[in-house]
Amino acid sequence: MTQRRQLFVQAGAAAAAFGGLLAAGPARAAAHASASLDLAQPGASTLQALHLQLERARRRRDFKTVPMILTDRADWDDEALRLLRAYTGGPKQVWDNTDVKSPWLNLMRNALNAQVWSWGHPDFLAVSATHGSAHLALYDEHVWAKYKLAALIGAKAGGNSYLDTPAAAGAAASDFENPVGAFSPADNSVTVLQRRGVVFLACHNAIWEFSGALIAKGNNPDKLSHEQLAAELSNHLIPGAVLTPGVVATIPELQAAGYHYIK
């Protein structure tokens, strides 16, 4: 988390050098909402303040079983989602990312660069609505090793390379025009984008369907039930990921809060 804060500071310094640019019942749902976060209160207005809030927001990762359809706000990262909806900085984009082999990370990096330095919006927020095969990037090394995820996508044996920190990340943040530097295509990774403020949403529906696929393929070494395997995958999301009850259904919630949808 310290690295993330440092990168916010470094990015601000670099911009300054550039000239200052930079479906439960209504009663039950209402009870959960009031217990989580009062949306009548103003949200964070800067990217750094938002991420300080998100770091403190509750994340449940001790599931024993989970159902196919979530109906209890305690079963997803409700507080973090409410913080994202309440964010008053911006502009705000939500990216519909489904293919792990697509240039999804590169596109979000490009958007960050142009919003910060070209348009002068240092508090621009990019949110990845992650599902499909792209969701594999949001599982930790335990899941990648246990369920041999690299083989599933035809990658070389190994762990979750989408979490790797490229050497380019060590380049000076002030040298933002460096074609192989910290803001270049040489520095695309989930981890680096998180440090720059990108928020990755995880999808319960993707988790449920993937756990079912693993069981159907016989890739279930502990012989877990569908509900247990989905719980294990939910417990092993990467740090910082925000678990949603379903990404496709969460996108319109973000759009209603002012996020621009990018497919």
Residue 101 is predicted with a pLDDT of: 94
Residue 251 is predicted with a pLDDT of: 98
- Structural domain includes residue 149: yes
- Structural domain includes residue 58: no
- Structural domain includes residue 147: yes
Q: Which residues of the chain have pLDDT under 70?
A: 1-42, 157
What contacts 92, CB < 8 A, 6 or more positions away?
124, 125, 127, 254, 257, 258, 259, 260
Residue 155 is predicted with a pLDDT of: 78
- Structural domain includes residue 60: no
**Rounded Cα distance, 105 and 169, in Å:** 14
Instruction: State how many domains the chain has.
Output: 1
Q: pTM value?
A: 0.86
Q: Inter-axis angle of helices 26-36 and 78-86, to 10 degrees?
A: 80
**Rounded Cα distance, 195 and 7, in Å:** 6
Q: Is 262 helix (H, G, I), strand (E, B) or coil?
A: strand
What are 59's two structure tokens? 């994340």
- Structural domain includes residue 49: no
219: containing domain: 2-38+65-262
Residue 42 is predicted with a pLDDT of: 64
- Cα–chain-centroid distance for residue 96? 11
CATH number, position 218: 3.40.1260.10
- Structural domain includes residue 73: yes
Residue 152 is predicted with a pLDDT of: 87
- Structural domain includes residue 218: yes
Residue 133 is predicted with a pLDDT of: 96
- Structural domain includes residue 53: no
Question: For residue 94, how many C-alpha atoms fall within 13 Å in the half-sphere facing its CB?
Answer: 23
